[in-house]
Amino acid sequence: MPDYDVIVCGAGPAGIGAAVSAGRAGARTLLIERLSLPGGMHVHAGVTSWSESAGGPVFTEIIERMADLGGVTFRFDPSRMTAPGRPRLDTELFSAVVLEMLLESGVELRLLSLVEKPMIRHDTVCGVVVIDKTGSHPLESAVVIDATADADVLAAAGGRFLLGDEHDGRLQHANYRVRLDGIDFDRFSREKPPDDELIAMLRQARADGRITPPDNLYTPNADTFPFDANSGALQLSNWEFDRVDPLDPDALQRMFVQSVRATLQILRIARAHFAGFEHAHICNLPHLPGVRESRRMVGRYTLTFDDVRSGRKFADGIARAWYRIALHD
């Protein structure tokens, strides 16, 4: 008899939904996560806004539980959103609420643990080997669900996947999001210098070595960093990068190290020179990059542009969602 009925790898939103549903259905369920808390990019990469899609029973319950604790606000634009709008969830509360739901559902957790490789018998994945501080642990399961951000289990098992644009391999942009607080934006907007003076000051700070823009910046432009000339606004906490491969640990490390350094440099300059920023401080640094694209599993069917545009329905569909086709490239 296997150790579990279901092993879910990855505790982002997909893994949370799969594990809670399996546990409530009576399956002996294990959820494996390499970080210390569930939540995925929402908790660890600062992606705090969710789509205004209809969602499902697990997500609806999360919203209700968080609303009871004052952890949800909605942004509603009637021209392009359905009521009540796009939920913004408190990240710390989110991880606590979903952890409570997982425990209530009877799900066993293995946090701070990495899936080292799948176990394969007769061409079928029958479990995974988990590695932690105490070593490697083989765990058998009737079903393994790959909810990792990069389809790690599928790739290690030899499953088919696609990566990047089919013609040239380009990947959509990644984001780095810092949470800042203690800023009086109204005062800054009233007292900020003209754009040309602000840009000249930032360029001088670059020339003096007081600001070092990270490599591969897409927005804001490195020449005016951190001022975004297109929007006419300081872009202090949400930077977009191109040519960052989420499967390349060296590229991710450069992105994190350079972004943390730039955050500290900008904080010093803003506190010294920008009205309203005298008490600015860092609330949270992301633990994950905001990746839009990694490995894409090749299943029995691939959703097409026309499927999305026409809102096509499928008899074996398991999720309801809608969003515009967005390309960051």
- What tens digit of pLDDT does each residue of 63-74 get? 999 999 999 999
Q: How far apart are CA 179 and CA 283, in angstroms?
A: 5
Would you say 168 and 33 are in contact if contact means Cβ atoms under 8 Å apart? no
- The confidence score (pLDDT) of residue 142 equals 97
Q: How far apart are CA 32 and CA 27, in angstroms?
A: 15
Would you say 129 and 136 are in contact if contact means Cβ atoms under 8 Å apart? yes
Q: How far apart are CA 90 and CA 73, in angstroms?
A: 9
What CA dihedral angle connects 187, 193, 196 and 197, to 10 degrees?
-140
Tokens of 299: 């299943």
- The confidence score (pLDDT) of residue 286 equals 93
Would you say 49 and 72 are in contact if contact means Cβ atoms under 8 Å apart? no
- The confidence score (pLDDT) of residue 329 equals 76
Q: How far apart are CA 314 and CA 54, in angstroms?
A: 17
- The confidence score (pLDDT) of residue 293 equals 92
Tokens of 196: 């040309």
Does position 47 have pLDDT exceeding 90, yes or no? Answer: no
Q: Strands of 4-9's sheet, edge to edge?
A: 108-110, 29-32, 4-9, 135-146, 124-132, 114-121
Does position 321 have pLDDT exceeding 80, yes or no? Answer: no
Give the pairing of strands 233-234 and 238-241: unpaired
Average pLDDT over residues 159-184: 93
The gap from C-alpha 250 to its chain's centroid, in whole angstroms, comes to 19
- The confidence score (pLDDT) of residue 25 equals 98
Does position 230 have pLDDT exceeding 90, yes or no? Answer: no
- The confidence score (pLDDT) of residue 231 equals 84
Which of 128-137, 298-307, 320-329 comes out lowest in average pLDDT?
320-329
What pTM, to 2 d.p., does this model score? 0.92
Which of 64-73, 80-89, 103-112 comes out lowest in average pLDDT?
80-89
- The confidence score (pLDDT) of residue 162 equals 95
The helix/strand count (H/E) of the chain reads as 9, 18
Distance between terminal CA atoms of the chain?
Answer: 48
Q: Residue 193: is the preceding peptide bond cis (ω within 30°)?
A: no
**If you average pLDDT over every residue of the chain, what do you get?**
93
Kindly list the distances between the CA atom of residue 21 and the CA atoms of 50, 57, 99, 102, 151, in Å, as whole numbers in the listed order.
Answer: 20, 9, 14, 9, 20
Which letter does DSSP use for residue 192 in this model? P
Kindly list the distances between the CA atom of residue 301 and the CA atoms of 15, 218, 263, 298, 317, in Å, as whole numbers in the listed order.
Answer: 21, 33, 43, 8, 12
Does position 156 have pLDDT exceeding 80, yes or no? Answer: yes
- The confidence score (pLDDT) of residue 328 equals 84
- The confidence score (pLDDT) of residue 113 equals 97
- 157-168 per-position pLDDT tens digit: 999 999 999 899
Task: Write out the DSSP string of 285-326.
Answer: --SS-EES--EEE--S----HHHHHHT---TT----------
Kindly list the distances between the CA atom of residue 27 and the CA atoms of 106, 110, 131, 243, 319, in Å, as whole numbers in the listed order.
Answer: 9, 16, 23, 41, 20
